Homo-oligomer: A and B are copies of this chain.
Amino acid sequence: MLPGIGLFGTGHVVRVIVPFLREKGFKIEAVWGRTLSEAAEVADALDIPFHTSRIDDVLLRKDVDLIFIMCSPNLHAQIAVKALGIGKHVVCDKPAGLSQYEALKMVRAAQYYPSLISIVNHSLRFLPAFVRMKKFLDEGYLRGPVTVIDVRVQMGSLLHDGYDWLCNDTMGGGILALVGSHVIDLIFHLVGQRAIRVHAVVRTFTRTTKFINGIRHISSPDFCSFQLELSGGALVTATLSNHLPGQLNQEVLVCGGGDHLVVRGGDLYGFREEGMNNGGKEEILYLDVDDIKEQSPPVTDSIPLPYVKGLRKLIGALREAFQPVEDKKGWIKEPVSSAATFDDGLYVQAVIDALRQSNRRREWIKVCVLTEEPDPNPLLSAAVRATAISI
């Protein structure tokens, strides 16, 4: 039996995700919105039986066993930790909280309840082109070790017509948190190397729009360029830009030993120097199947198609996880194996924190993944330790 779902959030992604969930047989039992009217509107539009603006009203429902956290990032950690604490499975939208500190709290909660599913919605891992790219990499398509990974994402604005958290850097808005987190996770997933040292330029060029031009201005970045030195010696360069309205160009290029694999949009191409196959041209390894447009969900411009497609596949994998072997609670404990864990979410946060610091300090920054919560009162702790010694 599939678990009942409690949804947090009322944004575009919720309207995309509900039809996908229903397509796979999940029942949506409740939806939470920041305001009651927002919640009511979504519940009405998507035919969800219960809506509320109180977090606990969703979490404590008996018919809800799987929580989808799709609201603003400042609430991710709070809801995820609480949900796991009362024995509910969690799928959390990226990023995992606003900071490493929040991500660490989520990791701790997930460690406490290993039988519960706790995954971060890094949906690009599930895009068929990247699934195949990883397979080719694992099978040694490239003759040499990975040297350079070049990522480019060009898209339009991430903002809505009104002012909301997307406009605010500290609330988790902006291209670094929203797209960069996907890129950082994807690279780790593809090549299994983590970033050691990083450099970034992060910019907010657009501070006002037609709709946001009063006292409030936009602080979330619309451009970033970063470089990562990976543990295995590879170098990543990424350029993410919101300055190309009306289109999404996404390209992930992995080079090694004169060969390369590249995903453009949803298609995978490969090139091997050795045989100079295809007369020195790239070979087509996978062409995307346009199976989303036939679907009923109103896919909006605000969520690029590769992310939507990946999300649909992720939900498919989630269904599988709840199906085959049944334990006493009615589903298996094994998490969706290739999904991003909260641990992965913590790593991504650590890299994003380092990138932000690099941008401020204008130098390369070492990535430090938090393993302990920072001491809230270091002076007091030092005094206590000193007393203990003197006694």
> Which residues of A are interface residues toward B (Cβ below 8 A)?
147-148, 150, 152, 154, 199, 201, 203, 205, 223, 225, 227, 235, 237, 239, 241, 243-247, 253, 255, 258, 260, 271, 273, 276, 280-282, 362-364
Contact = CB atoms under 8 A, between A and B. Distances in A.
B148 A243 contact: yes
B255 A273 contact: no
Nearest to A363: B363
B227 A246 contact: no
Name which of A148, A235, A282 has the most chain B CB atoms within 10 A of its CB: A148
A281 B248 CA distance: 11
Contacts of A247: 280-282
Interface SS of A by simple majority: strand
Given A148-B203, A148-B243, A152-B152, 11 more contacts: A147-B205, A147-B223, A150-B154, A150-B239, A201-B235, A223-B235, A225-B227, A244-B255, A244-B260, A245-B273, A247-B280
A227 B227 CA distance: 11
Contacts of A255: 241, 243-244
Name which of A241, A244, A260, A362 has the most chain B CB atoms within 10 A of its CB: A244
B276 A235 contact: no
21 contacts: A147-B205, A147-B223, A148-B243, A152-B152, A199-B201, A199-B362, A203-B235, A223-B235, A225-B227, A239-B239, A243-B258, A243-B260, A244-B255, A244-B260, A245-B258, A245-B271, A246-B271, A246-B276, A246-B281, A247-B282, A362-B364
